[in-house]
Structure formats: structure tokens, C-alpha cells
Structure 1
Amino acid sequence: MDWDHLRIFLAVTRHGQLLAAARSLGLNHATVARRLDALERSLGTPLFDRRPAGCVPTQAGERLLPVAERIEFELLGVSESLRDEEADVSGTVRIGAPDGLGNYFLASELGALTRRHPNLVVELVPLPRTFSLSRREADLAIVLDPPAEGRLLVSRLTDYTLSVYAARMYLERAGTPISVEALGDHTVVTGVEDLAYASALDYSAALEKQAGRKFRCASVMGQIEAVRSGAGIGVLHDFAAGAIEGMERIFPEVGFRRSYYLLCHPDTVTVKRIAVLREFISRRFREERQRFVQ
């Protein structure tokens, strides 16, 4: 079985379209279609139902997918083992993370790592509701809810805390409520419940029940900026909001504690660039643990 054809198959599966797959591989649309046709002829069965809206794997395509992924991982391992141990770290590593952690911690940390390894390309992407490490949608992922099943390596990075915050300008204008029960005259900034991708993001309900007005933002960064600008009161990450000038922590008796977990696929854990990034992230969380728990 031709690996070049299999990598075409994997790209089409992951992107759902021939054109998007071609772009990701640096090939033209005709080449991708031709090689996919050749793979289907060699197997004697169609691998995709090709529709105007995209390509949907057939049953044969679904059966081939884990086989192709195993071959891909094996080739990654072989390639890595043949490299000089002293060679510089190079290549691309994609890490998925919650947007608050990505914007207020990882972006600066990973930027420092790439300065040390100029041939390493790090892609930091916001974590969607669903993703697949086996399909290479990310090489590493930081999550709030560890998976209950599946063949993944899971390590706990750190706990982190959240508290209730308001901008000083908001409190000067609207007054400081003395308790959660006194929020009836205030605006509460929260997330959007049906867009929350983890059960651990349920803390805003404690304020929303008492709120006189509500303003919902789907992203953590949006919530922080809304509170910072004086839009209302919200539950925010201490490691982010605590460092913003003009933010006031209120209701000291109200707080929340959650955890971050790092996920990696066992077939890629020895790939040098992924191993370097995984070790760097784990170490920086250990070193900065006090920053996350306040």
C-alpha cells in the first residue's frame, strides 16, 4: 500500500474536502483526486461518498482510518529515531488549550520556547468542543475534564482558582454588592452555557441566579474584557484577572477550584518536538503553580 496515497486519504478524512486537503498538503486539487482514485482502485472499494458539501467516509473508509493512523504514527517514530540525538528540535507541534489559558499564560510561555528552538513551529489553537489527537487535529491538548476512556496519556498539570471580580470603575458607578444575594441591581457577565465544552465550566450559575441583568460571552477572554471595561461582575480566573490593573476581587467567601490536564497520544509521545513541548509545559506549570492557585 502506497504511503503517499494513504497520507492523501488521511488529509481528506481530516479536512472533509479535497480542496482543503490539497491546500494542507501543498498539492493541487487534481493531484489529490487522482491519488485518491488510485487508492480506491487498489482496494477495490470507494473510501468516500463525494458530495458537493464535502467527502464523507464510507464504511470501508472508516475501517481504513485506524490502520492509516497507525502507519502514520509508526513512520513518525521511525523518522524520529533516525535523527541525530543532538539535532535541534524542529517541525510543527499543535497544542489545543482553553482560550483563557492560551491567551493569558501559554502564548507568552510558548513564545519563549520558540526563541530557544528557532526551527520549532508551535501552533496554539483554542480547544473546540470535540477534537481528536489520533486524527492529528492536535498533538497535545490541555483540558478541564480528563477523558474517561480512550488510549491517551493523561497528566494533571495543576489546580487553578477562580474568584468574583468587578472593575473599580463599575463599583464606583453601581456600588459594591455586599453578597451574591445583592446582585439584583447588577449585571453579571458569564459564559454561554450551550457553547461550554466542559462540565467544569459551570461556576457562573452561582451568580446568574441572583443577577438583575445578564451579559454572556462565549470566550473567557471576552468575559475578562467585559468585566475589565465595566460591563458587570463575573467569575474570572485568578491567574488572569488578578494581574489586571483596576480589577477588584469581591465576595472573598465565593471561590472555585478546577484542574488542568495535559493529553498526549502514546504513539507520538517519543517524537522529539512533541516530547520537548510536553516536558516544557509540565515544567512551567510546576514552576508557576502558586500563580494558578490563589
Structure 2
Amino acid sequence: MQWDDARIFLAVAREGSFSSAAKRLGVQHSTVSRRIRALEKKLATPLVERKASGYILTEAGEELNHSASRIESELLSFEVAVGGQADDVAGELRITAIANMASTVLMPYFARFSAAYPRIELSVQVTNDSVRLSEREADIAIRQTNKPSENLIGTRLTTVASAVYGARDYCAAVKSGQATEKWIGVDCCEYHRIWTKQAWPQAEHEFYVDETSLTLAALKEGLGVGFLPCFLGDNDPYLVRFREPEKQHELGLWLLYHRDLRNTKRVTLFREHMQREIKQAVVLFEGTEPLTK
């Protein structure tokens, strides 16, 4: 067997479909299908079986899954060990962060890190979904959570506060009785969805969005009020706080990585850099000192 065959098989086993595996690997659906069928022919046994809900592993597929996962783990451990020993700090460092943070408040921090360590190739991807750090889909994940995964280690960088915001004129009109209070329906994350339901239990919305940047744009158009992290809401001159931050709406900002990477120099340098940067801007994240507008 070639390792590349096993790698494609592992993607199918983990994703449950050829199309999802192809998306994860960055190849065509037909490529995954062809390689799996060729592997089954080479081994003279079926590895996956198609069901209504997707693909499931056969008994042979389960055995290959265990073996290939062990090999992958050994290869990744070797890669980490070699990278951690290098005196010359260089190579790729893959970061995954939430879109509304990566494209706004975090981008200057990333830029200054790249300037300080030009031989480190910083690769930033944005996703609100979980990534498998143990399988090296990314080296570091920057996440807002109060319950980081138990199989990861990391550093709590700060607390991220959220408040309810609205357009300046719209909030003034609501508070003076000249406009009706309306809430924007959100589905950008579980936190904002739950908080909105608690704050507006009648769950009546004239406008819905599924991403924080859309919430920000909708608020500026006066379409209602809604939750935003303070680092976004306080920085926009068109918005004001409709309700102040509350303790129950605070989230920890974590820098997470797999325990095998704890001694890797690239990870250590990035962690220390982010700690320094965020320490200088802690009031922006905690919402304790909104900017004068």
C-alpha cells in the first residue's frame, strides 16, 4: 500500500462520504472514488459500503482505519519532534480562527508576527467549525469558548465580552418611543442564537442573518438590535450599545493546540506573541472601555 492511498481512505472514513472527503483533501469527488475502488481491488476486499445515510466501513475497512490511524499518528509525532528540534525557526504554521476576529482585530497581530519572523510561513484559515488539531488540519486554533476540548492544551488569552448593539438613530428612536424594538434573527453561532432567544423570547424576527459580519451590516442599516462582541461593536462609529455587557455573555478567548506541539518553537513563538499583543488591547476585548464616538 502507498501512504497516499491510506490518507484518502482515512478522509472517507472520517467524513462519511466521498464528496466531503474530496472537499477536505482539496481534490475532485471522482478522484476519491477512483482511488478507493482501486485500493479495494488491490486488497481484494471491500472497504466501504454505501448506505442511505452515507458510507460505512466494512470489517476490513475498520481494521484498515485503525492501522492507518496509528501510522498517521506516528508520522505526525515524528514531524513534530523534528520541527521542535530545529534551531532555525522556519516552516509553515497553520492557524485557524473565527472569521469576524481574523479579518478585524487579529489581523494586525498576525501581520506583526510575520514581520518579526519572516521565515515562518503563516497560513490563516477562517472557520467557525471544529478542526482536528490531532490530525494536523491546523497547528493552532483560536476559539471563543468556556469549555475547550479536553484533548487539547493551550492558553486563555483574555475574556471576550458581548453587548446588544444597534444603529445610533434607531436606538435613540426606540428609547424615545418613536420606533418599535426589533431584534435581528441570528444563526452565526450557538452562543448568539441562544442569547438572542433569551433576550427576545417571542422569537419574532423580520430579518435573519447567519454570519457576524452580516449582523454588523444589518445593525448599521437600522434593521433592529442584536448581539455583537464588544471588539466589533465598540469600534464601529455608527453603532451604540443598546444594552450593556453582562457576565453571562462572556466567553474565554483561547489559543489551543495539540499537546504534541507544546515544545515546537513556531508554536511557542506565536503563543507568546499573541499573549503580548492581546494584553495591550485587553479593554477592547473585555468591553470595559468603549471608544468615544
TM-score range, shorter chain: 0.7 to 0.9
- Residue 234 of structure 2 is aligned to residue 233 of structure 1: no
- Aligned pairs for 1:204-223 (under 5 A) are 204-209=196-201, 213-223=205-215
Alignment-derived partner of residue 20 in structure 1: 22
* CA deviations over 1:121-171 (Å, ceiling 9, x no partner): 41322212x5433344443331414246x4222432221211222212434
Is 1:99–1:126's contact at 8 Å kept on the other side of the alignment?
yes
Map 1:49-64 to 2 at 5 A: 49=49, 56-64=56-64
Partner Cα distance (2:23, 2:208) in 1: 36
- Structure 1 residue 240: Cα displacement: 1.0
Aligned partner letter, 1:226: A
Unaligned runs of 5+ in 1: none
**CA distance, structure 2, for counterparts of residue 287 and residue 66 of structure 1:** 46
Does the aligned pair in 1 maintain the 2:47–2:58 contact within 8 Å?
yes
What are the residue-to-residue correspondences of 1:244-259 with 2, within 5 Å? 244-252=236-244, 256-259=249-252
Gap change, CA 1:168 and 1:203, over 3 Å in 2? same
- TM-score, structure 1 normalization: 0.73
Q: CA deviation at 1:202?
A: 2.6
- Structure 1 residues 25, 113: closer, same or farther in 2, change over 3 A? farther
Q: C-alpha displacement at 1:14, in angstroms?
A: 5.0
1:188 to 176, 183, 186: 183
1:98 aligned partner: 98
Partner Cα distance (1:35, 1:268) in 2 = 35
1:278–1:169 distance in 2 versus 1, CA, 3 Å: same
The question of 1:10 aligning with 2:7 is answered: no
* Cα deviation code 1:226-257 (max 9, x no counterpart): 11222222222111110111212234486732
AA at the equivalent of 1:29:
T
**Aligned in 2, Cα 1:276/1:32: closer, same or farther, shift over 3 Å?**
farther
The 3 A distance-change label for structure 1 pair 67 and 143 is farther
Aligned residue for 2:123?
122
d(CA) in 1 for partners of 2:198, 2:146: 20
**Percent of matched pairs sharing the same residue:** 25
Gap runs ≥5 in structure 2: 289-293
Structure 2 length normalisation: TM-score?
A: 0.74
Partner of 1:48: 48
What residue number does 1:292 align with? 285
> Partner of 1:209: helix, strand, or coil?
coil
Aligned partners of 1:88, 1:81: CA distance in 2, in Å? 14
**C-alpha contact 2:170 2:179 (8 A) present in aligned 1:** no
Do the aligned partners of residues 12 and 211 (structure 1) sit closer, same or farther apart at CA in structure 2, a change above 3 Å counting? closer
CA deviation after TM superposition for structure 1 residue 50, in Å: 5.8
SS in 2 for 1:186: coil
SS in 1 for 2:88: coil
